[in-house]
């Protein structure tokens, strides 16, 4: 796929600069900054509402981040759609349950990869909510506004990530 011009990856500087312009245009149009992790709180609240609506209504965190569809919620849905369209159009869509690098190190077990991904998701989202943002909210929107919290968070994201990635993969491959 990488050999064909159609599926060749875009230059990250050009794509990154376009994303920067998109962010500015979006701020101008709707007054909203990029972010993603709050959406997972709202979605979790919406799911919990289906079994325990009264309890959700009384939980302080769901009062702060109401379980409803908002700008960011649709932004995250849009990322799924945009990626789907782009991958289909470029011939890079691929159903894959175990990434190549993971398979090379830990074997092709779908169950193992799913378990690690699930556990990683739990830990990552707990951390993101504790930090009040993820690589979008802190890493992009925070740092570009010169927010002190954005820089502290971004350094910590990478620090935690580098240490655990090393533990998983060692120094070499």
Partner 1 sequence: MDLIFGLITGILFGILLQRSEVIRYDRQLGALLLQDMTIVKFMLTTVLVGMVGVYFLVDLGLAKLSIKPLILGGTVLGGLTFGAGWALLGYCPGTSGGALGEGRLDALAGILGMLVGAALFAESYPLLKATVLTWGDYGKVTLPQLMDQHHWVLIPWFCLLGYVLLRWLHKRGL
Interface of this chain with partner 1, residues 73 to 102, rule: CB under 8 A:
73-87, 90, 92-102
First to last CA, the chain: 23
Q: Annotate each residue in 7-46 with x if it binds partner 1 (CB under 8 A) or - if it does not, as one string.
A: --xxxxx-xxxxxxxxxx-xxxxxxxxx-xx-xxx-xxx-
Q: Which of 3, 50, 54, 148 binds partner 1 (CB under 8 A)?
A: 148
State the sign of the Cα–Cα–Cα–Cα dihedral 27, 30, 31, 35: negative
CA distance 170 to 104: 13
Q: Establish if 48 lies at the interface with partner 1 (CB under 8 A).
A: yes
CB-nearer residue toward partner 1: 29 or 53: 29
Q: Establish if 51 lies at the interface with partner 1 (CB under 8 A).
A: no
Stretch 99-128 residues interacting with partner 1 (CB under 8 A): 99-102, 113-128
Closest CB 34 distance from partner 1, rounded Å = 7
Q: How far is residue 125 from each of residues 38, 76, 116, 154, measured CA to CA in Å?
A: 9, 15, 14, 15
Q: Establish if 53 lies at the interface with partner 1 (CB under 8 A).
A: no
Is residue 113 within 8 A of residue 102, CB to CB? The reply is yes
Which structure tokens are listed for 92? 């890079």
């Amino acid at each position: 796929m990488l050999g064909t011009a159609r599926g060749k990856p875009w230059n990250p500087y050009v794509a990154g600069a376009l994303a920067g312009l998109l962010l500015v245009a979006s701020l101008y149009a709707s007054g909203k900054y990029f972010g993603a992790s709050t959406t997972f709180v709202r979605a979790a609240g919406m799911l919990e509402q289906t079994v325990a609506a009264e309890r959700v209504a009384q939980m302080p965190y769901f009062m702060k981040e109401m379980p409803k569809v908002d700008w960011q919620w649709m932004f995250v849905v849009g990322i799924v759609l945009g990626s789907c369209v782009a991958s289909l159009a470029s011939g890079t869509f691929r159903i894959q349950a175990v990434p190549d690098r993971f398979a090379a190190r830990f074997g092709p077990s779908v169950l193992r990869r799913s378990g690690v991904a699930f556990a990683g998701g739990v830990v990552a989202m707990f951390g993101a909510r504790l930090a009040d943002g993820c690589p979008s909210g802190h890493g992009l929107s925070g740092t570009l506004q010169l927010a002190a919290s954005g820089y502290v968070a971004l350094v910590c994201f990478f620090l935690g990530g580098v240490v655990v990635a090393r533990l998983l993969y060692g120094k070499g491959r």
